[in-house]
Chain A
């Protein structure tokens, strides 16, 4: 048994590939806890960032700068009365939020936080991820139907139409990226160095970007960029966020599909929605933004050796700097904590908050110190850069929410079918044409000679 558990330590692949169920379970728990953590932080960050964009303060009372607000919210939601409308279709009403959460978290099985940091890797990982993430709409339709009420019904109908429409544009953009994994040349226009069969494995796609020394968002510039933008728009629509938040359009449909939900059930919907946001962001990151790779991953700089601290002769000074970034970020957060603790009002009533902020700073700094330790430092890289990219995407979600009005239903459909779909087809065609251009040139030459 112990051997079975320890045998994975020497492995450089995911526990699923190593066929180690124990570590797979551990990884599942870590991913579940981590994503829930991200959702909680996102909850706080969204309220704060949105508030500051809207000349408000946001939560300020529960903990320093409202840091404990998500916990207070969760407690409130757990203790609320569980209301189920008398006319509701009870089993489906009960099942819908559970379905949304389960589906949103299932996709994370194949999300590669690092080359070995995923639950498992499948040869159809991307397909699995897309398939699972599009199942979420089923929960929304169930919720709308089971509520037996007009507003939720309209919300869920809108949602299903929206998801189906945007799934197609999304799929075309994704195929373009998958196609790129098959063109073996390096650099932005690396063509003519042969082709291979592409891969649908999430880890394989990142490794292809690693091998080609280019993030696919820059490959065949601007083709990859356009595909990425299509995906970035479609993924906002997929997760029902502003400006595509029609299924829960507050000013029109009261609360859309979750009008009749409250308390814990409602919070499950929110958890599912935010987890889905993280999931689609990770697809975008894996496909176009180099997954776990740091920026400029192929630049190493002159190699350097520091005894007891840096014993990677094959890595350069740029790598050293990049390896220190995670700790640096945490030190920066700690600094913010200390700085703001000093800026807090000197009133005795504020003392618990000031102490809390100091404590948080100490914790942050402590984690930063741990991250400096070479064994941790060398293993945390992938995860750090992946999560940092997720954070950027989540911030974009908040930014959209503060900026855009909401589309109308027919306009939403028009954007999906008349803009994104043709552009996606064009991008797909261009990807293939550029990638195969040497062969095409040879083929045309051949035809000319033959004539």
Chain B
């Protein structure tokens, strides 16, 4: 049984993520960036056809999640509980930050680095460093008090 999160599963899953990004470019000519596609649905600036394309992609993402819940439920967080204020603050920061920085782990991290985009290389280095510092502060300075 493939254990989600093991080294082998990480490489296999990563390959599937890369394949999905390559297919979206090869078939539809688009960068697979989740923050941009998700925000693009609710931003009225984009043409309706593009918003529908993004919507169908995100429906696929949600459907993939449901399929995982059926066949590989251990891949999803079981009892995910966090302090609610912390969780909502984190969501706001992720939403606002990815829009301000024009991308997230998929658009900058997977697609931008593969295109050797200098903006994406810098953005990825910064959000990784910032995530590492945040976890360091929460776990080792505040002692997991949050």
Check if A and B associate: no
Chain A contacts to B: CB under 8 angstroms: none
Chain B contacts to A: CB under 8 angstroms: none
